[in-house]
Chains A and B, each alone.
Chain A
Amino acid sequence: MVGTTLSQQLKNYIQTMHAQGMLDHHFDHVKALQNEENPQFVMDVISMFSHDAEAAIAHLTTLLNSAVVDFAMAITLVHQLRGSSSSIGGQRMAIACRDLRHACDNMDKERCLQVLERVKQEYEALRECLHIIFQQPVSGTPLCSSDNQLVAQSNRVPAQWMLTVKN
Protein backbone atom coordinates (compact mmCIF):
# COMPACT_ATOMS: atom_id res chain seq x y z
CA MET A 1 0.00 0.00 0.00
CA VAL A 2 1.30 3.50 -0.79
CA GLY A 3 0.85 4.78 2.78
CA THR A 4 2.86 1.93 4.29
CA THR A 5 5.62 2.35 1.71
CA LEU A 6 5.90 6.09 2.33
CA SER A 7 5.92 5.61 6.10
CA GLN A 8 8.64 3.00 5.85
CA GLN A 9 10.60 5.17 3.43
CA LEU A 10 10.42 8.03 5.90
CA LYS A 11 11.71 5.80 8.70
CA ASN A 12 14.48 4.57 6.41
CA TYR A 13 15.35 8.13 5.50
CA ILE A 14 15.56 9.21 9.14
CA GLN A 15 17.67 6.15 9.93
CA THR A 16 19.99 7.04 7.07
CA MET A 17 20.29 10.61 8.31
CA HIS A 18 21.28 9.25 11.72
CA ALA A 19 23.84 6.93 10.15
CA GLN A 20 25.34 9.79 8.14
CA GLY A 21 25.60 12.00 11.20
CA MET A 22 23.17 14.60 9.89
CA LEU A 23 20.85 13.97 12.84
CA ASP A 24 21.49 12.72 16.35
CA HIS A 25 19.26 11.40 19.12
CA HIS A 26 18.16 14.91 20.13
CA PHE A 27 16.22 15.02 16.87
CA ASP A 28 14.19 12.05 18.08
CA HIS A 29 13.27 14.12 21.13
CA VAL A 30 11.98 16.89 18.86
CA LYS A 31 10.15 14.50 16.56
CA ALA A 32 8.43 12.88 19.53
CA LEU A 33 6.75 16.24 20.18
CA GLN A 34 4.76 15.77 16.99
CA ASN A 35 1.31 14.56 17.94
CA GLU A 36 -2.30 14.98 16.96
CA GLU A 37 -3.10 17.09 20.03
CA ASN A 38 -0.78 19.85 18.89
CA PRO A 39 0.21 19.10 15.28
CA GLN A 40 1.36 22.64 14.61
CA PHE A 41 3.86 22.86 17.46
CA VAL A 42 6.71 21.03 15.76
CA MET A 43 6.17 22.98 12.54
CA ASP A 44 6.36 26.20 14.56
CA VAL A 45 9.59 24.96 16.16
CA ILE A 46 11.11 24.10 12.77
CA SER A 47 10.03 27.44 11.27
CA MET A 48 11.50 29.35 14.18
CA PHE A 49 14.76 27.42 13.93
CA SER A 50 15.04 28.18 10.23
CA HIS A 51 14.14 31.84 10.63
CA ASP A 52 16.59 32.44 13.47
CA ALA A 53 19.37 30.40 11.85
CA GLU A 54 19.10 32.26 8.56
CA ALA A 55 19.13 35.61 10.32
CA ALA A 56 22.20 34.62 12.34
CA ILE A 57 24.04 33.29 9.28
CA ALA A 58 23.26 36.48 7.32
CA HIS A 59 24.51 38.63 10.17
CA LEU A 60 27.65 36.51 10.53
CA THR A 61 28.33 36.82 6.81
CA THR A 62 28.21 40.60 7.08
CA LEU A 63 30.33 40.68 10.22
CA LEU A 64 33.04 38.36 8.98
CA ASN A 65 33.33 40.17 5.66
CA SER A 66 33.83 43.53 7.35
CA ALA A 67 37.19 45.25 7.20
CA VAL A 68 37.35 45.18 11.00
CA VAL A 69 35.63 42.11 12.39
CA ASP A 70 33.62 42.36 15.59
CA PHE A 71 34.60 38.92 16.86
CA ALA A 72 32.71 39.39 20.13
CA MET A 73 29.43 39.82 18.26
CA ALA A 74 30.35 36.97 15.95
CA ILE A 75 30.92 34.68 18.94
CA THR A 76 27.50 35.60 20.34
CA LEU A 77 25.85 34.68 17.04
CA VAL A 78 27.80 31.44 16.68
CA HIS A 79 26.90 30.58 20.25
CA GLN A 80 23.23 30.99 19.41
CA LEU A 81 23.56 28.95 16.20
CA ARG A 82 25.37 26.15 17.97
CA GLY A 83 22.76 25.99 20.69
CA SER A 84 19.84 25.88 18.31
CA SER A 85 21.37 23.42 15.85
CA SER A 86 22.35 21.02 18.62
CA SER A 87 18.92 21.39 20.24
CA ILE A 88 17.15 20.37 17.05
CA GLY A 89 19.49 17.42 16.64
CA GLY A 90 21.46 18.82 13.71
CA GLN A 91 24.71 17.14 14.63
CA ARG A 92 26.83 18.10 11.62
CA MET A 93 25.71 21.69 11.73
CA ALA A 94 26.47 21.87 15.45
CA ILE A 95 29.97 20.52 14.81
CA ALA A 96 30.53 23.14 12.11
CA CYS A 97 29.37 25.84 14.54
CA ARG A 98 31.78 24.55 17.15
CA ASP A 99 34.64 24.84 14.65
CA LEU A 100 33.51 28.35 13.72
CA ARG A 101 33.52 29.26 17.39
CA HIS A 102 37.14 28.13 17.66
CA ALA A 103 38.07 30.21 14.63
CA CYS A 104 36.38 33.25 16.16
CA ASP A 105 38.14 32.67 19.48
CA ASN A 106 41.43 32.70 17.54
CA MET A 107 40.32 35.81 15.64
CA ASP A 108 41.32 34.07 12.42
CA LYS A 109 39.24 35.87 9.81
CA GLU A 110 40.24 33.64 6.90
CA ARG A 111 39.51 30.48 8.81
CA CYS A 112 36.21 31.97 9.99
CA LEU A 113 35.12 32.61 6.41
CA GLN A 114 36.08 29.06 5.39
CA VAL A 115 34.17 27.47 8.22
CA LEU A 116 31.21 29.80 7.75
CA GLU A 117 30.77 28.31 4.29
CA ARG A 118 30.63 24.88 5.86
CA VAL A 119 28.07 26.10 8.37
CA LYS A 120 25.95 27.38 5.51
CA GLN A 121 26.20 24.08 3.65
CA GLU A 122 25.30 22.08 6.71
CA TYR A 123 22.39 24.38 7.46
CA GLU A 124 21.05 23.99 3.91
CA ALA A 125 21.35 20.24 4.14
CA LEU A 126 19.66 20.17 7.55
CA ARG A 127 16.85 22.43 6.42
CA GLU A 128 16.18 20.17 3.44
CA CYS A 129 16.27 17.14 5.68
CA LEU A 130 13.77 18.65 8.13
CA HIS A 131 11.52 19.73 5.29
CA ILE A 132 11.44 16.21 3.89
CA ILE A 133 10.73 14.64 7.27
CA PHE A 134 8.07 17.00 8.54
CA GLN A 135 6.12 17.45 5.37
CA GLN A 136 4.72 14.01 6.06
CA PRO A 137 1.21 13.84 7.65
CA VAL A 138 1.31 13.34 11.41
CA SER A 139 -0.77 10.15 11.39
CA GLY A 140 1.31 8.55 8.66
CA THR A 141 -1.81 7.73 6.66
CA PRO A 142 -1.77 8.75 3.00
CA LEU A 143 -3.56 11.90 1.93
CA CYS A 144 -6.10 10.92 -0.72
CA SER A 145 -5.52 13.81 -3.05
CA SER A 146 -1.85 14.35 -2.19
CA ASP A 147 -0.31 10.90 -2.60
CA ASN A 148 1.30 11.95 -5.85
CA GLN A 149 2.65 15.10 -4.22
CA LEU A 150 4.17 13.11 -1.37
CA VAL A 151 5.77 10.66 -3.77
CA ALA A 152 7.08 13.49 -5.94
CA GLN A 153 8.56 15.26 -2.94
CA SER A 154 10.08 12.08 -1.58
CA ASN A 155 11.79 11.68 -4.94
CA ARG A 156 13.79 14.80 -4.10
CA VAL A 157 15.76 12.63 -1.71
CA PRO A 158 18.91 11.33 -3.32
CA ALA A 159 18.45 7.70 -4.31
CA GLN A 160 21.46 6.52 -2.31
CA TRP A 161 19.82 7.90 0.83
CA MET A 162 16.76 5.74 0.50
CA LEU A 163 17.04 2.19 1.74
CA THR A 164 15.43 -0.31 -0.58
CA VAL A 165 11.88 -1.17 0.38
CA LYS A 166 10.91 -4.65 -0.65
CA ASN A 167 7.25 -5.20 -1.57
Chain B
Amino acid sequence: MSDGGKAESKIGKESPIVRAGEDNFGLAISRIAVAQICENVGFESFNESALDSLADLAIRYLLDLGKTAKFYSNLAGRTECNVFDIIQGLEDLGMSSGFSAASDVGVNCAISSGVVAEIRGYVESAQESPFAQPVPHFPVIREWRTIPSFLQMGETPEFKHIPEWLPAFPDPHTYIHSAMWNERVSDPRTDKIELARQHRKAERALLSLQQRLVCNGLSVASTSVEPDTGGNGLEVNDIKNQVLANPLEAGDQDESPVVLPGKLSGEAHMENHISLLETFAPAIEAMKDGLSDSGNDGEKNFSGKRPVVLPSKLSGEARTEKRVSFLEAFAPAIEAMKDGLSDSGNYGEKSFPGKRPAVCLEFKGGKKVFGESLDLRIRNKTNGRTAPWFGREDEKDDKKRRVEFILRQSMENQQELT
Protein backbone atom coordinates (compact mmCIF):
# COMPACT_ATOMS: atom_id res chain seq x y z
CA MET B 1 0.00 0.00 0.00
CA SER B 2 2.65 2.44 -1.02
CA ASP B 3 0.30 4.96 -2.53
CA GLY B 4 -1.88 4.98 0.47
CA GLY B 5 0.57 6.95 2.53
CA LYS B 6 -0.92 10.30 1.77
CA ALA B 7 -4.46 9.32 2.40
CA GLU B 8 -3.56 7.66 5.63
CA SER B 9 -1.68 10.66 6.84
CA LYS B 10 -4.69 12.75 6.08
CA ILE B 11 -6.89 10.57 8.19
CA GLY B 12 -4.44 9.79 10.90
CA LYS B 13 -3.18 13.29 11.52
CA GLU B 14 -5.10 14.49 14.47
CA SER B 15 -4.19 16.75 17.35
CA PRO B 16 -3.28 15.00 20.58
CA ILE B 17 -6.20 16.70 22.27
CA VAL B 18 -9.17 14.39 22.23
CA ARG B 19 -12.03 16.07 20.48
CA ALA B 20 -14.73 15.14 18.05
CA GLY B 21 -12.59 13.73 15.29
CA GLU B 22 -13.21 14.40 11.68
CA ASP B 23 -14.12 10.89 10.89
CA ASN B 24 -15.91 9.56 13.93
CA PHE B 25 -19.17 9.02 12.15
CA GLY B 26 -17.61 7.19 9.24
CA LEU B 27 -15.55 5.07 11.60
CA ALA B 28 -18.57 4.09 13.60
CA ILE B 29 -20.47 3.02 10.53
CA SER B 30 -17.51 1.14 9.24
CA ARG B 31 -17.25 -0.72 12.51
CA ILE B 32 -20.81 -1.90 12.26
CA ALA B 33 -20.40 -2.94 8.63
CA VAL B 34 -17.20 -4.83 9.33
CA ALA B 35 -18.76 -6.54 12.31
CA GLN B 36 -21.58 -7.70 10.12
CA ILE B 37 -19.15 -9.05 7.54
CA CYS B 38 -17.19 -10.94 10.16
CA GLU B 39 -20.36 -12.37 11.56
CA ASN B 40 -21.22 -13.68 8.14
CA VAL B 41 -17.77 -15.20 7.86
CA GLY B 42 -18.28 -17.09 11.07
CA PHE B 43 -16.97 -15.15 13.97
CA GLU B 44 -19.05 -15.01 17.08
CA SER B 45 -17.46 -12.16 18.93
CA PHE B 46 -14.65 -9.69 18.58
CA ASN B 47 -12.00 -7.96 20.50
CA GLU B 48 -12.57 -4.27 20.51
CA SER B 49 -9.11 -3.42 19.29
CA ALA B 50 -9.27 -5.99 16.54
CA LEU B 51 -12.59 -4.66 15.36
CA ASP B 52 -11.30 -1.10 15.36
CA SER B 53 -8.26 -2.08 13.38
CA LEU B 54 -10.32 -3.90 10.81
CA ALA B 55 -12.74 -1.02 10.47
CA ASP B 56 -9.89 1.38 9.96
CA LEU B 57 -8.46 -0.97 7.42
CA ALA B 58 -11.69 -1.06 5.46
CA ILE B 59 -11.77 2.73 5.27
CA ARG B 60 -8.20 2.81 4.10
CA TYR B 61 -8.94 0.28 1.44
CA LEU B 62 -11.81 2.37 0.18
CA LEU B 63 -9.65 5.45 0.02
CA ASP B 64 -6.86 3.61 -1.69
CA LEU B 65 -9.15 2.18 -4.29
CA GLY B 66 -10.66 5.54 -5.00
CA LYS B 67 -7.29 7.18 -5.28
CA THR B 68 -5.93 4.56 -7.58
CA ALA B 69 -8.95 4.68 -9.81
CA LYS B 70 -8.73 8.43 -9.97
CA PHE B 71 -5.09 8.14 -10.85
CA TYR B 72 -5.81 5.86 -13.74
CA SER B 73 -8.59 8.02 -15.05
CA ASN B 74 -6.34 11.07 -14.89
CA LEU B 75 -3.70 9.12 -16.67
CA ALA B 76 -6.16 8.51 -19.46
CA GLY B 77 -6.91 12.19 -19.59
CA ARG B 78 -10.27 12.08 -17.94
CA THR B 79 -11.67 13.46 -14.73
CA GLU B 80 -14.49 11.03 -14.32
CA CYS B 81 -13.69 7.45 -13.50
CA ASN B 82 -15.20 4.43 -15.15
CA VAL B 83 -15.26 0.73 -14.57
CA PHE B 84 -11.92 0.09 -16.14
CA ASP B 85 -10.23 2.48 -13.82
CA ILE B 86 -11.69 0.62 -10.93
CA ILE B 87 -10.67 -2.70 -12.27
CA GLN B 88 -7.17 -1.49 -12.78
CA GLY B 89 -7.15 -0.11 -9.30
CA LEU B 90 -8.29 -3.42 -7.97
CA GLU B 91 -5.55 -5.16 -9.82
CA ASP B 92 -3.04 -2.81 -8.32
CA LEU B 93 -4.21 -3.41 -4.81
CA GLY B 94 -4.54 -7.11 -5.28
CA MET B 95 -1.08 -7.57 -6.72
CA SER B 96 0.40 -8.41 -3.40
CA SER B 97 -1.95 -11.25 -2.66
CA GLY B 98 -2.29 -12.41 -6.19
CA PHE B 99 -5.26 -13.30 -8.27
CA SER B 100 -5.87 -15.55 -11.19
CA ALA B 101 -4.79 -14.37 -14.59
CA ALA B 102 -2.53 -11.86 -12.97
CA SER B 103 -0.01 -12.31 -15.69
CA ASP B 104 -2.49 -11.08 -18.20
CA VAL B 105 -2.79 -7.70 -16.62
CA GLY B 106 -2.04 -4.97 -19.09
CA VAL B 107 -1.97 -7.39 -21.93
CA ASN B 108 -5.55 -8.28 -22.27
CA CYS B 109 -8.58 -6.22 -21.79
CA ALA B 110 -9.37 -5.36 -18.31
CA ILE B 111 -12.74 -6.92 -18.59
CA SER B 112 -11.32 -10.37 -18.60
CA SER B 113 -9.27 -9.58 -15.59
CA GLY B 114 -9.09 -12.05 -12.82
CA VAL B 115 -10.31 -9.65 -10.19
CA VAL B 116 -13.60 -9.25 -11.88
CA ALA B 117 -14.04 -12.95 -11.92
CA GLU B 118 -13.19 -13.15 -8.28
CA ILE B 119 -15.64 -10.48 -7.37
CA ARG B 120 -18.26 -12.08 -9.42
CA GLY B 121 -17.65 -15.33 -7.70
CA TYR B 122 -17.88 -13.62 -4.37
CA VAL B 123 -21.13 -11.97 -5.20
CA GLU B 124 -22.70 -15.17 -6.25
CA SER B 125 -21.50 -17.18 -3.31
CA ALA B 126 -21.73 -14.80 -0.40
CA GLN B 127 -24.97 -14.31 1.38
CA GLU B 128 -26.55 -10.95 1.15
CA SER B 129 -26.71 -9.06 4.37
CA PRO B 130 -27.43 -5.40 3.91
CA PHE B 131 -26.37 -2.85 6.41
CA ALA B 132 -28.36 -3.01 9.64
CA GLN B 133 -29.56 0.56 9.83
CA PRO B 134 -30.29 3.31 7.37
CA VAL B 135 -27.38 5.64 6.97
CA PRO B 136 -28.03 9.29 6.25
CA HIS B 137 -26.11 11.04 3.60
CA PHE B 138 -23.00 12.45 5.13
CA PRO B 139 -21.16 14.66 5.61
CA VAL B 140 -23.96 17.12 6.14
CA ILE B 141 -23.15 20.38 4.50
CA ARG B 142 -24.15 23.35 6.58
CA GLU B 143 -25.64 26.24 4.74
CA TRP B 144 -23.64 29.28 5.39
CA ARG B 145 -25.55 32.47 5.78
CA THR B 146 -23.80 34.83 3.49
CA ILE B 147 -23.87 38.53 3.93
CA PRO B 148 -26.51 39.91 1.60
CA SER B 149 -25.29 42.01 -1.24
CA PHE B 150 -26.18 45.61 -1.83
CA LEU B 151 -28.75 44.56 -4.33
CA GLN B 152 -30.38 42.16 -1.92
CA MET B 153 -30.50 44.74 0.82
CA GLY B 154 -32.03 47.26 -1.48
CA GLU B 155 -29.28 49.72 -0.81
CA THR B 156 -27.07 51.53 -3.21
CA PRO B 157 -23.40 51.67 -2.35
CA GLU B 158 -22.24 55.09 -1.38
CA PHE B 159 -19.19 55.08 -3.52
CA LYS B 160 -19.24 54.62 -7.23
CA HIS B 161 -16.41 52.19 -7.36
CA ILE B 162 -18.32 49.56 -5.39
CA PRO B 163 -20.49 47.27 -7.51
CA GLU B 164 -23.92 46.28 -6.32
CA TRP B 165 -23.37 42.56 -6.14
CA LEU B 166 -20.78 42.82 -3.40
CA PRO B 167 -21.81 42.22 0.20
CA ALA B 168 -23.37 45.24 1.81
CA PHE B 169 -21.66 47.36 4.41
CA PRO B 170 -22.75 46.90 8.03
CA ASP B 171 -25.22 49.35 9.47
CA PRO B 172 -23.64 52.51 10.81
CA HIS B 173 -24.91 51.95 14.32
CA THR B 174 -22.68 48.92 14.61
CA TYR B 175 -19.50 50.87 14.36
CA ILE B 176 -20.37 54.48 15.14
CA HIS B 177 -21.02 55.39 18.71
CA SER B 178 -24.14 57.47 18.55
CA ALA B 179 -25.50 59.32 21.56
CA MET B 180 -28.24 57.47 23.34
CA TRP B 181 -31.41 59.29 23.89
CA ASN B 182 -31.84 59.96 27.58
CA GLU B 183 -35.38 60.15 28.69
CA ARG B 184 -34.64 61.85 31.98
CA VAL B 185 -32.16 64.60 32.08
CA SER B 186 -30.40 64.02 35.34
CA ASP B 187 -29.45 67.28 36.88
CA PRO B 188 -27.72 66.84 40.22
CA ARG B 189 -28.99 70.16 41.48
CA THR B 190 -32.60 69.40 40.73
CA ASP B 191 -32.14 65.97 42.25
CA LYS B 192 -30.90 67.53 45.46
CA ILE B 193 -33.72 69.99 45.56
CA GLU B 194 -36.21 67.24 45.00
CA LEU B 195 -34.69 65.17 47.76
CA ALA B 196 -34.76 68.12 50.14
CA ARG B 197 -38.37 68.71 49.32
CA GLN B 198 -39.22 65.14 50.15
CA HIS B 199 -37.35 65.35 53.41
CA ARG B 200 -39.17 68.48 54.33
CA LYS B 201 -42.43 66.78 53.61
CA ALA B 202 -41.59 64.01 56.02
CA GLU B 203 -40.58 66.44 58.67
CA ARG B 204 -43.76 68.36 58.18
CA ALA B 205 -45.76 65.28 58.77
CA LEU B 206 -43.90 64.57 61.96
CA LEU B 207 -44.39 68.09 63.14
CA SER B 208 -48.10 68.03 62.50
CA LEU B 209 -48.39 64.79 64.39
CA GLN B 210 -46.51 66.24 67.26
CA GLN B 211 -48.67 69.29 67.31
CA ARG B 212 -51.72 67.15 67.45
CA LEU B 213 -50.25 65.33 70.37
CA VAL B 214 -49.49 68.57 72.09
CA CYS B 215 -52.99 69.77 71.57
CA ASN B 216 -54.34 66.60 72.97
CA GLY B 217 -52.06 66.79 75.90
CA LEU B 218 -53.04 70.36 76.57
CA SER B 219 -56.65 69.53 76.61
CA VAL B 220 -56.16 66.54 78.80
CA ALA B 221 -53.28 67.08 81.13
CA SER B 222 -54.18 70.40 82.60
CA THR B 223 -57.21 69.08 84.36
CA SER B 224 -57.20 65.43 85.03
CA VAL B 225 -56.51 62.07 83.71
CA GLU B 226 -58.46 61.16 80.69
CA PRO B 227 -58.61 57.98 78.81
CA ASP B 228 -57.06 57.38 75.57
CA THR B 229 -57.97 59.95 73.01
CA GLY B 230 -57.17 57.88 70.07
CA GLY B 231 -54.51 56.06 68.39
CA ASN B 232 -51.93 58.60 69.26
CA GLY B 233 -51.56 57.26 72.70
CA LEU B 234 -50.86 53.82 71.49
CA GLU B 235 -48.23 55.06 69.21
CA VAL B 236 -46.61 56.99 71.90
CA ASN B 237 -46.92 54.04 74.17
CA ASP B 238 -44.92 51.85 71.91
CA ILE B 239 -42.16 54.28 71.56
CA LYS B 240 -42.14 54.75 75.22
CA ASN B 241 -41.61 51.06 75.71
CA GLN B 242 -38.63 51.17 73.49
CA VAL B 243 -37.24 54.03 75.35
CA LEU B 244 -37.80 52.31 78.64
CA ALA B 245 -34.97 50.01 77.80
CA ASN B 246 -32.59 52.78 78.54
CA PRO B 247 -31.60 53.25 82.11
CA LEU B 248 -33.70 55.83 83.81
CA GLU B 249 -32.20 58.51 85.87
CA ALA B 250 -33.67 58.72 89.27
CA GLY B 251 -34.13 62.38 89.21
CA ASP B 252 -35.57 62.59 85.80
CA GLN B 253 -38.72 60.76 86.30
CA ASP B 254 -40.45 63.81 87.38
CA GLU B 255 -39.79 65.34 84.07
CA SER B 256 -41.89 62.90 82.16
CA PRO B 257 -43.85 64.66 79.52
CA VAL B 258 -47.33 65.92 79.63
CA VAL B 259 -48.44 64.73 76.26
CA LEU B 260 -49.25 61.22 77.11
CA PRO B 261 -52.93 60.75 76.77
CA GLY B 262 -54.41 57.39 77.43
CA LYS B 263 -51.59 55.29 78.55
CA LEU B 264 -51.95 56.08 82.14
CA SER B 265 -53.74 53.01 83.27
CA GLY B 266 -51.98 51.69 86.30
CA GLU B 267 -49.11 54.05 86.25
CA ALA B 268 -48.31 56.73 88.58
CA HIS B 269 -50.27 59.50 87.11
CA MET B 270 -48.62 62.14 89.03
CA GLU B 271 -45.38 61.38 87.35
CA ASN B 272 -46.79 61.79 83.97
CA HIS B 273 -48.84 64.80 84.55
CA ILE B 274 -46.84 67.82 84.55
CA SER B 275 -48.36 71.01 83.56
CA LEU B 276 -47.20 72.62 80.46
CA LEU B 277 -45.95 75.59 82.31
CA GLU B 278 -43.73 73.46 84.43
CA THR B 279 -42.05 71.97 81.48
CA PHE B 280 -42.04 75.21 79.72
CA ALA B 281 -40.25 77.11 82.33
CA PRO B 282 -37.21 74.93 82.39
CA ALA B 283 -37.28 74.87 78.66
CA ILE B 284 -37.13 78.57 78.40
CA GLU B 285 -34.44 78.70 80.98
CA ALA B 286 -32.49 76.13 79.12
CA MET B 287 -32.78 78.11 75.95
CA LYS B 288 -31.32 81.08 77.65
CA ASP B 289 -28.54 79.17 79.31
CA GLY B 290 -27.62 77.31 76.28
CA LEU B 291 -29.36 74.20 77.36
CA SER B 292 -27.01 73.00 80.01
CA ASP B 293 -28.05 69.60 81.11
CA SER B 294 -27.21 66.74 83.26
CA GLY B 295 -24.34 64.52 82.43
CA ASN B 296 -26.38 62.14 80.39
CA ASP B 297 -26.57 64.42 77.48
CA GLY B 298 -23.01 63.89 76.68
CA GLU B 299 -23.91 60.75 74.93
CA LYS B 300 -25.16 62.51 71.91
CA ASN B 301 -28.05 60.27 71.57
CA PHE B 302 -29.98 62.74 69.59
CA SER B 303 -28.12 61.58 66.60
CA GLY B 304 -31.35 60.57 65.09
CA LYS B 305 -32.16 57.17 66.30
CA ARG B 306 -35.19 58.49 68.05
CA PRO B 307 -37.28 61.21 66.67
CA VAL B 308 -36.96 64.45 68.44
CA VAL B 309 -40.64 65.05 68.61
CA LEU B 310 -41.19 62.24 70.98
CA PRO B 311 -42.55 63.62 74.12
CA SER B 312 -42.77 60.34 75.88
CA LYS B 313 -39.22 59.68 76.84
CA LEU B 314 -38.43 59.24 80.44
CA SER B 315 -34.70 59.06 80.30
CA GLY B 316 -32.59 62.01 80.94
CA GLU B 317 -31.24 62.07 77.46
CA ALA B 318 -34.60 62.90 76.15
CA ARG B 319 -34.94 66.07 78.02
CA THR B 320 -33.66 68.34 75.39
CA GLU B 321 -35.76 66.68 72.79
CA LYS B 322 -38.78 67.12 74.92
CA ARG B 323 -38.21 70.73 75.46
CA VAL B 324 -37.42 71.23 71.91
CA SER B 325 -40.67 69.65 70.91
CA PHE B 326 -42.57 72.07 72.97
CA LEU B 327 -40.67 74.83 71.39
CA GLU B 328 -41.87 73.76 68.07
CA ALA B 329 -45.42 73.76 69.15
CA PHE B 330 -45.20 77.23 70.53
CA ALA B 331 -43.30 78.88 67.84
CA PRO B 332 -44.16 82.51 68.41
CA ALA B 333 -42.85 82.42 71.91
CA ILE B 334 -39.74 80.83 70.70
CA GLU B 335 -39.23 83.42 68.10
CA ALA B 336 -38.51 85.97 70.69
CA MET B 337 -35.85 83.78 72.14
CA LYS B 338 -34.43 83.12 68.76
CA ASP B 339 -33.02 86.57 68.52
CA GLY B 340 -31.22 86.03 71.68
CA LEU B 341 -29.82 82.80 70.41
CA SER B 342 -28.60 84.08 67.19
CA ASP B 343 -26.65 86.73 68.90
CA SER B 344 -24.45 84.27 70.64
CA GLY B 345 -21.10 84.11 69.10
CA ASN B 346 -20.85 80.44 68.60
CA TYR B 347 -22.80 80.21 65.48
CA GLY B 348 -20.27 81.78 63.27
CA GLU B 349 -21.31 80.58 59.97
CA LYS B 350 -24.99 80.07 60.45
CA SER B 351 -27.30 81.91 58.24
CA PHE B 352 -30.33 83.63 59.60
CA PRO B 353 -33.21 81.23 60.07
CA GLY B 354 -35.89 81.38 57.50
CA LYS B 355 -33.62 80.50 54.73
CA ARG B 356 -32.68 76.90 54.67
CA PRO B 357 -29.04 76.50 53.75
CA ALA B 358 -28.26 73.79 51.27
CA VAL B 359 -25.58 72.32 53.44
CA CYS B 360 -28.19 71.23 55.93
CA LEU B 361 -29.56 68.63 53.62
CA GLU B 362 -28.93 65.11 54.68
CA PHE B 363 -29.11 62.53 51.97
CA LYS B 364 -29.12 59.49 54.11
CA GLY B 365 -32.37 57.83 53.25
CA GLY B 366 -34.94 56.65 55.69
CA LYS B 367 -33.50 57.82 58.93
CA LYS B 368 -33.71 61.48 58.33
CA VAL B 369 -34.77 63.22 61.44
CA PHE B 370 -34.26 66.62 62.75
CA GLY B 371 -31.12 66.07 64.56
CA GLU B 372 -29.21 64.27 61.88
CA SER B 373 -28.02 66.98 59.63
CA LEU B 374 -27.29 69.05 62.60
CA ASP B 375 -25.18 66.23 63.84
CA LEU B 376 -23.13 66.16 60.70
CA ARG B 377 -22.54 69.80 60.85
CA ILE B 378 -21.57 69.49 64.39
CA ARG B 379 -19.17 66.72 63.56
CA ASN B 380 -17.64 68.67 60.76
CA LYS B 381 -17.26 71.59 63.01
CA THR B 382 -15.73 69.66 65.82
CA ASN B 383 -13.30 67.92 63.55
CA GLY B 384 -11.61 71.18 63.12
CA ARG B 385 -11.57 71.81 66.82
CA THR B 386 -9.41 70.10 69.29
CA ALA B 387 -11.87 70.43 72.14
CA PRO B 388 -12.96 67.22 73.83
CA TRP B 389 -15.93 65.56 72.32
CA PHE B 390 -17.86 65.46 75.47
CA GLY B 391 -16.99 68.90 76.56
CA ARG B 392 -19.74 71.03 77.88
CA GLU B 393 -19.12 73.83 75.55
CA ASP B 394 -19.63 71.61 72.58
CA GLU B 395 -22.84 70.38 73.98
CA LYS B 396 -24.07 73.83 74.34
CA ASP B 397 -23.16 74.64 70.82
CA ASP B 398 -24.75 71.50 69.58
CA LYS B 399 -27.92 72.13 71.32
CA LYS B 400 -28.05 75.68 70.27
CA ARG B 401 -27.59 74.67 66.74
CA ARG B 402 -30.19 72.04 66.99
CA VAL B 403 -32.64 74.41 68.46
CA GLU B 404 -32.00 76.90 65.81
CA PHE B 405 -32.43 74.31 63.15
CA ILE B 406 -35.71 73.23 64.54
CA LEU B 407 -36.81 76.77 64.89
CA ARG B 408 -36.11 77.33 61.32
CA GLN B 409 -38.12 74.36 60.35
CA SER B 410 -40.93 75.37 62.55
CA MET B 411 -40.94 78.72 60.89
CA GLU B 412 -41.38 77.05 57.65
CA ASN B 413 -44.06 74.83 59.02
CA GLN B 414 -45.76 77.84 60.42
CA GLN B 415 -45.91 79.27 57.00
CA GLU B 416 -47.23 76.09 55.55
CA LEU B 417 -49.74 75.35 58.24
CA THR B 418 -51.31 78.72 58.32
A binds B: no
**Partner-B contacts on A (CB < 8 A):** none
